[in-house]
Amino acid sequence: MSMQPTRQQHHDLYYYMKLNRAVEDTMVKLFRQNKIVGGLYSSLGQEAISVGTAYALERRDWMAPMIRNIGALLVKGVPPRDIFTQHMAKYTSPTRGKDGTSHFGDLENLHIVSPISMLGDLIPVMAGVAIGARYLGQKIVTMTWIGDGGSSTGVFHEGLNFAAVQKAPFVLILENNQWAYSTPVLRQAPIENLADRAKAYGIDSYVVDGNDVVAVYATAKEAVERARAGKGPILIEAKTMRMLGHAQHDPAEYVPKEMRAFWESRDPITLHEELLFSEKLLDAKGKQEIEAKIEALLEKDRELAENSPLPPPELAAEGVYCEGCHKIEPKWERPVAEVMPPKASTKPAWPATGYATGHGAARVAAQFIPAGADASGNGAGPLVRATSKGVALSRGKKKPIKPAASRRPGR
Amino acid sequence: MAPVTFLEAVRQAIFEEMERDPAVVLLGEDVNVYGGAFKVTEGLLERFGWERVIDTPISESAIVGAACGMSYLGLRPIAEMQFIDFIVCAFNQITNFVAKGHYLWGAPAPMVIRGPSGGGVHGGPFHSANPETYFVHTPGLKVVYPSTPYDAKGLLKAAVRDNNPVLFFEHKFLYRRIKEEIPAGDYTVPLGKAVVRREGRDLTILSYAAMMHTSLEAADALAKEGVEAEVIDLRTLLPLDEETILQSVKKTNKCLVVHEDTKTGGIAGEIAAVLCEKAFGDLDGPVLRVTALDTPVPYAPPLEEYFLPNAQKVFNAAKELARY
């Protein structure tokens, strides 16, 4: 299956990147007019990642954005007015003023899980959505994003590892924008490709140019379909650069001039526009039409947001608990009888049959499993000993040590 | 019905809820083939299969996070902490993610986090914790801590059916030490309701979990000296059943709070504040506390015994209070 975009898809990708940038440009103006209540975080230069990855999802798939993934929200169907009202803390915002920025979600229709400021927490949550959906028989994929900085958290490891052992239909986009606030990526992790971490979880990974929206989309599409086909989670590292500071207050003077200049010359929207023009997929008139459409939409949504009221103060005391306001019903897409006794009943067994069949299995097995034993090492006495130089077969003279796999795990 | 242990009551609740509702799934460390460190989940795999009884890596944040994700689909996961001490490894996931979702963006998380808690079994500083008050301080959670097999079963069933995240503490000292006949068939015990275990006119003793039994023991000794203590089992710490507490204190005019948690910042302080605000005029004496010491839980039996409250300490405090 070719993952290359069609003409219409090219237009969509271009439109959403332009919309992403225009929404943020509008918010910068609002910020300077003191109409944004809190901080404002920019995704300038990273639009291709938000848009290209989210565009690979189907409507029924689930996503959980990070704070800079405005483009992903737009692609999933969030109207710009929701983003404006969120930032302006309006009563009409998705959280009715209880939280700001892109911290909002929609379980029912758009299938968006809200982020929190603590990075990495979304990874196990979206692994859980993936596992839960599989259990319900829904053929969906879940996606979330993490930064180079966020990938240093413990829960990144916990979540991705759990997704991997569960073979969850889950795609993690590692947006390497090279700066965690002011800390360069090499002080976060001393490895060239953060995608290499996938090896530790036994999952597949890709590295992609995050400023090339076509490459991002094609890679994400392939990953999403592989995950949907049951091949387990996938990590995509998209390399890019955060072109502004951590937030509006940060001039980012720590970024070397040459580095900024290099990435300025690789603006994702300009690159895509050049491609569209050279391939005759878009002309000046088409571009103008898209820009006019965006301008009209944002003008209307900005006005609506500005004219919205702030929430009534008493709202602060409401909504901590669900006291019957939600009707909670899982959407089964498989026969429930499959998961209920007697059909669900099963004999318990230790799933150790695949022991030593993974990468490098033959070499490992040759060291650990004596001739005559089956794959789990049964059928032969413990013949393995560990030395400071590694593991070697015992000649039967020294006291044997049991292989690690047979030891009970302790805490 | 033959009497069942506290542990068996918990197991029955999980079993029956999974039997009743396919949305109920279980996840945690060693809950699957092994049946859990305390064998609470024994037999569930055979009955409900691999998809519903999920072994996890040693990753408490992932357990809680994944359970939360499942709950967003309308599932009702029960997440086991092998020992409740390890729940703090998932502190951020619980307090920032799970607890705040409904308030902030209208996302209910119908999930239960449960596990064995409490001391008195020489588990040492990392297998004896009573971390309930960390979570009582977190709006959005419910915190349940039962003391009897009947309540354990009924409250756990209510917790599974609740639309909010519920933390369910099972005092491991009680697991196999107490037995009770419980009715056959389905029943629930409502969250947020305390219960009067022993009626009395002279003073009120508020307690929960293992210390509820200690308080009853002390109340018997007090009765022999002519002091009739009313003993109330709080059962749910968040939300706190202020009505039952106030009703009792308005009758007895004296209140002693007993808990196994450490003293500073424990629930007793909160209850004392509630009484000052809402029943100051009814009090004939100070609100007293009998709690564990403000130290980690020590390991050696004489140290742990010294650290924990016991019936004698409750008796002494109650006698002092009765003098007012």
Q: B281 in contact with A at a CB cutoff of 8 Å?
A: no
| pTM of the shown model | 0.91
Name which of A93, A98, A121 to mutate to probe chain B: the one with the most chain B Cβ atoms within 10 A of its Cβ. Answer: A121
Selection from B129, B147, B137, B25 nearest residue B87 by Cα: B129
Q: Are A63 and A284 in contact (CB under 8 A)?
A: no
- The closest CB to that of B69, out of A127, A328, A329, belongs to A127
Residue showing tokens 């450490």: B262
Residue A182 CA to residue A206 CA, distance in Å, equals: 26
Q: B105 in contact with A at a CB cutoff of 8 Å?
A: yes
Q: Provide the β-strand partners of residue B4.
A: B180
Measured between beta carbons, the chain A residues lying within 8 angstroms of B136 are: none
Using CB atoms within 10 A of its CB, is residue A292 exposed (0-12), middle (13-18) or buried (19+)?
A: exposed
Greatest distance between any 2 Cα atoms in chain A:
86
Q: How confident is the model at residue A381, as a pLDDT?
A: 37
Q: Are B162 and B191 in contact (CB under 8 A)?
A: yes
Measured between beta carbons, the chain A residues lying within 8 angstroms of B105 are: 94-95, 98-99, 103-105, 114
State the alpha helices, DSSP H only, in chain B: 6-20, 44-48, 60-71, 91-92, 101-105, 132-136, 149-161, 210-224, 242-252, 267-279, 301-307, 311-322
- Residue B122 CB: number of other CB atoms within 10 A? 15
Taking the CA of residue A129 and the nearest CA in chain B, the distance in Å comes to 4
Tokens found for residue A118: 């603590």
Q: How confident is the model at residue A164, as a pLDDT?
A: 98
- Mean pLDDT, rounded, for B298-311: 98
Residue B114 CA to residue B168 CA, distance in Å, equals: 5
Measured between beta carbons, the chain A residues lying within 8 angstroms of B45 are: 346, 348
Q: What domains can be seen in chain A, in order of their start residue?
A: 7-313 (3.40.50.970), 361-405 (no CATH)
Q: How confident is the model at residue A57, as a pLDDT?
A: 98
Mean pLDDT score of chain B, rounded to an integer? Answer: 97
- The closest CB to that of B92, out of A118, A132, A323, belongs to A118
Catalytic residues of B: 127
Q: B48 in contact with A at a CB cutoff of 8 Å?
A: yes
Q: What is the torsion angle, in degrees rounded to the nearest 10, for the CA atoms of residue A156, residue A162, residue A168 and residue A171?
A: 10
- The closest CB to that of A322, out of B61, B96, B163, belongs to B163
- pLDDT, tens digit, 9 for 90 and up, residues B121-142: 999 999 999 999 999 999 999 9
Taking the CA of residue A124 and the nearest CA in chain B, the distance in Å comes to 5
| Residues 121 through 140 of chain B touching chain A, CB cutoff 8 Å | 139-140
- The closest CB to that of A132, out of B60, B75, B164, belongs to B75
Q: What is the torsion angle, in degrees rounded to the nearest 10, for the CA atoms of residue B220, residue B226, residue B227 and residue B229?
A: 40
Q: Provide the β-strand partners of residue B167.
A: B113, B143
- Residue ranges of chain A whose pLDDT lies below 50: 1, 369-411
Measured between beta carbons, the chain A residues lying within 8 angstroms of B66 are: 124-125, 127-128, 131, 159, 162
Q: How confident is the model at residue B36, as a pLDDT?
A: 95
Q: Provide the β-strand partners of residue B142.
A: B166
Q: What is the torsion angle, in degrees rounded to the nearest 10, for the CA atoms of residue A295, residue A265, residue A238 and residue A192?
A: -160
β-pairing, A179-180 vs A183-184, is: antiparallel
Exposure string over A316-345, b if 16+ CB within 10 A, otherwise e: eeebebbeeebebebebeeeeeebbeeebe
- The closest CB to that of A165, out of B33, B57, B73, belongs to B57
Q: How confident is the model at residue A406, as a pLDDT?
A: 35
Amino acid sitting at position A396: G
Segment (H or E) for A273? helix A268-278
Tokens found for residue A294: 């965006």
Selection from A183, A141, A136, A120 nearest residue A56 by Cα: A141
- Mean pLDDT, rounded, for B56-76: 98
Give the CATH architecture of domain B195-322.
3-Layer(aba) Sandwich (3.40)
Taking the CA of residue B228 and the nearest CA in chain A, the distance in Å comes to 38
Positions of CATH 3.40.50.970 in chain B: 4-180
Taking the CA of residue B134 and the nearest CA in chain A, the distance in Å comes to 17
Q: What is the DSSP letter of A235?
A: E
- The closest CB to that of A99, out of B51, B70, B104, belongs to B104
Q: How confident is the model at residue A350, as a pLDDT?
A: 72
Q: Answer yes or no: do A162 and B19 touch at CB < 8 A.
A: no
Q: How confident is the model at residue A54, as a pLDDT?
A: 98
Q: How confident is the model at residue A352, as a pLDDT?
A: 65
Helix axes A268-278, A213-228, angle to 10 degrees: 100
Positions of CATH 3.40.50.920 in chain B: 195-322
Which residue of chain A is at minimal alpha-carbon distance from B21?
Answer: A340
Q: Are A233 and A205 in contact (CB under 8 A)?
A: no
Name which of B16, B72, B98, B112 to mutate to probe chain A: the one with the most chain A Cβ atoms within 10 A of its Cβ. Answer: B72
Q: What is the DSSP letter of B201?
A: S
Q: Answer yes or no: do B51 and A340 touch at CB < 8 A.
A: no
SS3 of A262, please? helix
Cα–Cα–Cα angle for B96, B102, B105, rounded to 5 degrees: 90
Tokens found for residue B10: 């918990």
Taking the CA of residue B193 and the nearest CA in chain A, the distance in Å comes to 16
β-pairing, B195-198 vs A234-239, is: unpaired
Q: Answer yes or no: do B164 and A321 touch at CB < 8 A.
A: yes
Q: How confident is the model at residue A356, as a pLDDT?
A: 53
- Residue B55 CB: number of other CB atoms within 10 A? 18
Tokens found for residue A337: 């009888």
Taking the CA of residue A170 and the nearest CA in chain B, the distance in Å comes to 12
Rg of chain B (C-alpha set): 19
Q: B185 in contact with A at a CB cutoff of 8 Å?
A: no
Q: B41 in contact with A at a CB cutoff of 8 Å?
A: no
Q: What is the DSSP letter of B94?
A: I
Q: B199 in contact with A at a CB cutoff of 8 Å?
A: no
Cα–Cα–Cα angle for B106, B107, B111, rounded to 5 degrees: 140
Q: What is the torsion angle, in degrees rounded to the nearest 10, for the CA atoms of residue B85, residue B91, residue B94 and residue B99?
A: 120
Tokens found for residue A260: 């900024």
The matching CATH number, chosen from 3.40.50.970, 3.40.50.300, 3.40.50.720, 2.60.120.10, for B4-180 is: 3.40.50.970
Measured between beta carbons, the chain A residues lying within 8 angstroms of B69 are: 113, 124-132, 142
Residue B249 CA to residue A316 CA, distance in Å, equals: 32
Q: B110 in contact with A at a CB cutoff of 8 Å?
A: yes
DSSP characters over B158-187:
HHHHSSS-EEEEEETTTTTT-EE---SS--
Residue B200 CA to residue B215 CA, distance in Å, equals: 13
The pair phi, psi for residue B97, each rounded to 5°, is -90, -65
Q: Answer yes or no: do A129 and B72 touch at CB < 8 A.
A: yes
Q: B83 in contact with A at a CB cutoff of 8 Å?
A: no
| Residues 151 through 180 of chain B touching chain A, CB cutoff 8 Å | 163-164
Taking the CA of residue A1 and the nearest CA in chain B, the distance in Å comes to 31
